[in-house]
Amino acid sequence: MRKIIHADCDCFFAAVEMRDNPALRDKPIAVGGAADKRGVIATCNYTARNFGIHSAMPTAQALKLCPELVVCPPRMSAYKETAEHIRSIFLQLTDQVEVVSIDEAYLDVSNVEQFNGSATLMARWLKQQVQGQTGVTISVGISVNKFLAKIASDWQKPNGLFIIKPDEVSNFISTLPVEKIHGVGKVTAQKLHQKGIHNCQQLQQVSMHQLTEQFGKFGVALYQRARGEDFREIKTEHIRKSISVERTYAENIAGIERISHALLQLAEPLMQRFPQDLQQQVKSIFIKLRFADFSTTTVEITPSAQQLAQLQQQLKHQRLNAAVFLPLLTEGLSRGKGGIRLLGMGVKLSEPYALTPDVKQWQQLVLF
């Protein structure tokens, strides 16, 4: 029996805007184009949704529904950075991650031994880590396949956690409206309603032959989803681009000595995350700093081929000399003011087997 988690960020773009500008938290806000340029709403927070505002709505119409609506212009770089951070947290739990979009992903945790194999405990950890490290909440659904996990993640939004256990699938699915099946839009729903089919229990009475005759290949999916079935596998297609570790501090830390000490303390967890059988090579090192005002900066350098080969072996054999990261601190600290609320360190990786001749040569010297 599989254990599938679906994680979905709550009003993601709006959540990032509220995080970076706390003054917006209690206001109706949306992210989208300007009304005078015929813009549309990309997303909005739950306060704005109470006014009937939703994604894809023209901004001008949204402002008529809620004149107090704060419309934020999109900041894709900030959203992408946060999304990458969230994905890095997912990858700490399992490599079986399928990224569906910038704000949602599936995780197959069937073979994860952490948390005694409990998908519920894993989900709670994910929610805690994502909110603690990024300031964004996620809604999580757990079940035996992708279809049910996605339904579950939407069941108790926002910031929800809902589980559809194997022995609950039959009862749960029987009353599920057909509109909840992914791919059933207004047209398909109307055709089903005309036949007196409004929920999955009623849909179960229709044969696969009848469904494929009317809906083509989608009829097979309808037949399966009506029974809570979904045989799709997790499609990872993921090449790890970096390995890193971060820590958010309860109180901001200040002073070069304290920050340097805190950075060195990240060496052990970084080594623990470095797979011994990794086929990729270290190509650069970086540190990440988030200041008290939530501004974030990353400093990255490419050491010499000899240093890279030595670093690769140190990480692989759990003997990292983290002092190599310290020179990056001076540059990083010069880019902001105030204390540090988050500190991170990591390595960027090359494409698999993409070794330069220089690195290959120095690897041989270090190995032998």
Annotated binding site for Mg(2+): 8, 103
Report how far apart, in Å, the C-alpha atoms of 260 and of each of 104, 253, 296 are. Answer: 35, 10, 17
Cα 300 to the center of its chain, rounded Å: 23
Q: Report how far residue 5's alpha carbon sits from residue 143's, in angstroms, rounded to the nearest whole number.
A: 7
**Catalytic (active site) residue 104:** yes
- Cis bond upstream, residue 158 (ω within 30): yes
Q: Report how far residue 192's alpha carbon sits from residue 196's, in angstroms, rounded to the nearest whole number.
A: 7
Residues 113-135 as b/e (b if ≥16 CB within 10 A, e otherwise) read eeeeeebeebbebbbebbbebbb
Q: Report how far residue 206's alpha carbon sits from residue 194's, in angstroms, rounded to the nearest whole number.
A: 14
Annotated binding site: 8, 103
The residue length of the chain stands at 368
CB contact set of 368 (below 8 Å; sequence gap of 6+): none
Residue among 104, 179, 246, 351 flagged as catalytic:
104
For residue 172, which amino acid is it? F
* CA atoms lying within 13 Å on the CB side of residue 12: 21
Other residues' Cβ atoms within 10 Å of the Cβ of residue 111: 10
Supply φ then ψ for residue 295, to 5 degrees: -70, 145
Q: Report how far residue 286's alpha carbon sits from residue 245's, in angstroms, rounded to the nearest whole number.
A: 11
Residues labelled catalytic = 104
